[in-house]
Structure formats: structure tokens, C-alpha cells
Structure 1
């Protein structure tokens, strides 16, 4: 079996699906990857300790975890199969590393999971499991990714879903979505691209102190944190930038490792 890559992608709010380039970029990216047996998603929008897994019985529900958007965004569906075997394997791997895992049979896929999946795998025919982030600590998430790396040899695609820069004070839908980004966003994006191209794990784990204006690019780190898990699961594989550019000042840059 071909080893699957691991991904970090910038998922955006639901209206990013209306962007003139982003949906096609994600579709093209997915078509270039080996078809996964199952998908494990870690989204910026689910923090829960201990590690918690989404439902594994019945249809995969969605969680419309956003407010104030037009009704059509609340009518999106994504009826992917459940992934009970993947859930058991995740639980086993983490238990062997001393991690406790619980299930939340009521929580559906949030928009950090289903918005990109609709574009990447629109047929919704691949089993999907979402996993919470138990912390935002970079080293802990990196180690968690390393513990899950064996899934890549079993056909599972590990997807970290966040945003390369995420300061919503820059977001102004009355302006052009493709307008030049704030300098801080552009500088953070360039730093991240260079650090990942060099495989500089030490710098990335210390993003808060080494990246330019990190606390402005990410006033809170939850949208950058999924990168650490993807980086740990990468198991040393090189990063390739698959999507770039900006959307209302936010960097859409996304990578895969081993793709």
C-alpha cells in the first residue's frame, strides 16, 4: 500500500467555497494524492481534552458552527460514511502511548472539516473521522502526530485544518477578497513557507517567538495548531506548498508532507 501524505490546509469560513480559485485548487490537490481508505481530520474548531473522536455510528452529522451567514451555508450536506475501524485504530495507537481517548457520539463534523472535504472529495464516499485537539501546546500536538503516523501506512489521510494566518480584524467582506494582504500576514506567510521548505521543526515548534509578529498573525493559535499534528505525523517527510495566496488578507497557504 502506498503511504499516504499528511496535510495542513487553510480551510476558511464557509464563503471561501465561493472563492474563484480555492475550490479548484483543493480539487486538483486531492486528485494528485493517493486515494485514501479513510480520513482523519483535526480542525481548529474542536478543542477538547482528553482526545475526543466524532461519532462512529449512523450517518456522519455536520455541526454548523458559525453565525450570521446566508441560509444556503446552513443547507450544505456531506454524508460521508463513518470510520469505526479508524476510530479503533486511533484509540489503540494513543492508548499504547498512554493517552486516553473518549467518544462524542453527538458532535458532527465542523466547518473546518467538511468545508474543505466538500471540495476535495465531493462524492462523500470515503469514511471520515474527526479528532479534537486536547491542547494548543505545539510539542504535545507534534508528539500526538508522531503517535498517529503509522496510520499513513494503513491508507489513512491525516488532515490538519486551520489557517496560515488568522486575524479576523483584517477580514472585510466589503473589500476585494484578492486585495493585497496586510504586511504582517505576508511576512508570516513567507516565514512559514521558508521554515517548512527547510524542514526547520525547531523553529516551527517555537513559532510564537520566532515568526514575525506571530501574535498578530494569530491572536490565538488554534488555527495554526493543527500544523503541529500534521508535522509530527509527517515523520520527517518534506513539505510541499500546494495552495498559496490570500483571502481578505488571510494566507490560504497549505502544504502536504510526503505527497
Structure 2
């Protein structure tokens, strides 16, 4: 008997937080509620702000140790595990879709999930029973990342959950743990919300020039960049988008968006 057709999955952009996200019961609850409302994915394709590699690289397709790519935290944050199954079939599909468009692909078989991937997944899929593949960002150019997302969009019809994982504003020098929100972060967050609501892709692509205080909200753009892979993967569903999580953590915007 043939397998039942997969339900088309949404495409997500989420603000992944830092390892102490696990201590924020409001935020962890929001992530858990979000995943509970999603169709059960057959696999997850993760694009994290914390892996830049060109040409585009595929991470491990077997379960390997996590990448604890942070410093100065309590030891308990380095003891977190997330033994999700690898996704070799998904990796092969990604290779075919990208190479078919003339995009080179390389393999990093020992590269585990970094904290931009596993920190939110621990909260969203705590049983670690959904296969996960992480791919790198080969560039921070919005147009190039959108093109990659467009090529990967057919995976959604195979039950693959495409997640761009970043932070809607990200300036480590601006973090404050009494959660004071500066006008810079508030203005950029509001601009981004309105651009998404209006489906103003041209403005988003040119956010470094058009958004207020863009250079202060994103001194380097790697945490906004995964949004463009998500937008590309969701190109048929841009009108069906909604903010699932908003508000601020440490003074940074944790806005997270679902398409379809």
C-alpha cells in the first residue's frame, strides 16, 4: 500500500534565543504550544544563523554530538543533549533540488546541530524523534538566500518543516537582563512587523537601507538572514502569515512567524 501523502507543512522563521532560553518558562511554553499546533513533520530542515559555509553545506545525516558554539555559560548548558535522528533521504532531496539549479553542495558529515538549531527544537520537539538536517547559509545576501528557499519549497509538500532560525533583532552589546527595550529595537521590530504584514518583500530585501536603525538592530545581519530562506520556501503562502511569538527577551525582539 502506498504511503499516505504528506500534509503540506508551513515554513517558519523563529527567534531561537540563547541557551538560557530553557529557563524562560513563558518562551518555552510559547514554542511548545506552537509546535503542538503544527502538522506532524516527517523531517525538519534547519537553517541557523550560526552556520555560514560556502558552498552550501549539509550537516550530519547520522546522530552526532551537538555543537556548543557559545562561551561563558554555566556548565549545565553544555550538558544538554538532543539525539534527533539524521535525515539522509532529506539530504539527498536537498542535493538534487539545489544541484539541479546549478547550486553547488558539499557535505560535512561530522557537523552536529548548533545552538540555533537544537535550543528551540528541544522545546518544540522534546522527544527528539523527528529527523533533522541542518544546512549552512552560503551567503548573507537576501536575494541569494531567497533563491535557495524557492528551490527548497517543494520539500514542504513532502512533509518537511523548513525552519529559518535567527533573532528578529540581534545586538549582543544591547542585551540587558532587566528586559528594557530600547527605541532602536522597538522601531526595527515594528518596521519588520509592518513589512511582513504588507508582504513588502522588496522592503525586506533592502532592510539594511530601509529599516530604521538597521545597523544598530543588526550590526551583522546573520540573525536576520534566515528569514529570507523562509520567505523563499513560503513564496506561495506569503499572504497566509502570522506572528506566533512576539515581545522581547533581554531587550531583543523574539518575533517568530509562520507562513501558511
Per-residue deviation, residues 32-79 of structure 1 (Å, max 9, x unmatched) = 11010000000000000001011113x232000000000000000001
Q: In 1, Cα distance between the equivalents of 2:39 and 2:125?
A: 12
Q: Which runs of 4+ in 1 moved over 6 A?
A: none
Q: In 2, Cα distance between the equivalents of 1:72 and 1:172?
A: 22
Structure 2 counterpart of 1:93:
97
Q: In 1, Cα distance between the equivalents of 2:252 and 2:139?
A: 24
Deviation at 1:12, TM superposition (A): 1.0
Structure 1 counterpart of 2:3:
none
Contact 1:60–1:81 (8 Å) recurs in 2: no
Structure 2 counterpart of 1:252:
254
Contact 1:181–1:246 (8 Å) recurs in 2: yes
Q: In 1, Cα distance between the equivalents of 2:163 and 2:204?
A: 18
Structure 1 counterpart of 2:36:
31
Structure 2 counterpart of 1:7:
12
Once the two structures are superposed, the pairs formed by residues 65-144 of structure 1 within 5 Å of their partners are 65-144=69-148
Deviation at 1:170, TM superposition (A): 1.3
Q: CA RMSD in A?
A: 0.8
What is the aligned length? 253
Q: In 2, Cα distance between the equivalents of 1:40 and 1:48?
A: 16
Per-residue deviation, residues 1-48 of structure 1 (Å, max 9, x unmatched) = 321000000001101221131000000000111010000000000000
Q: In 2, Cα distance between the equivalents of 1:224 and 1:205?
A: 11
Contact 1:152–1:158 (8 Å) recurs in 2: yes
Unaligned runs of 5+ in 1: none
**TM-score normalised to structure 1 length:** 0.96
Contact 2:64–2:110 (8 Å) recurs in 1: no
- Determine helix, strand or coil for the equivalent of 1:21: helix
- Determine helix, strand or coil for the equivalent of 2:13: strand
Per-residue deviation, residues 197-226 of structure 1 (Å, max 9, x unmatched) = 111111111111111110110000000000
Decide which of 158, 166, 172 is 1:168's aligned counterpart: 172
Contact 1:60–1:80 (8 Å) recurs in 2: no
Structure 1 counterpart of 2:184:
184
Once the two structures are superposed, the pairs formed by residues 137-152 of structure 1 within 5 Å of their partners are 137-152=141-156
Structure 2 counterpart of 1:198:
198
Deviation at 1:107, TM superposition (A): 1.1
Q: In 1, Cα distance between the equivalents of 2:30 and 2:90?
A: 27
Between 35-44 and 14-23, the greater mean CA deviation after superposition = 14-23
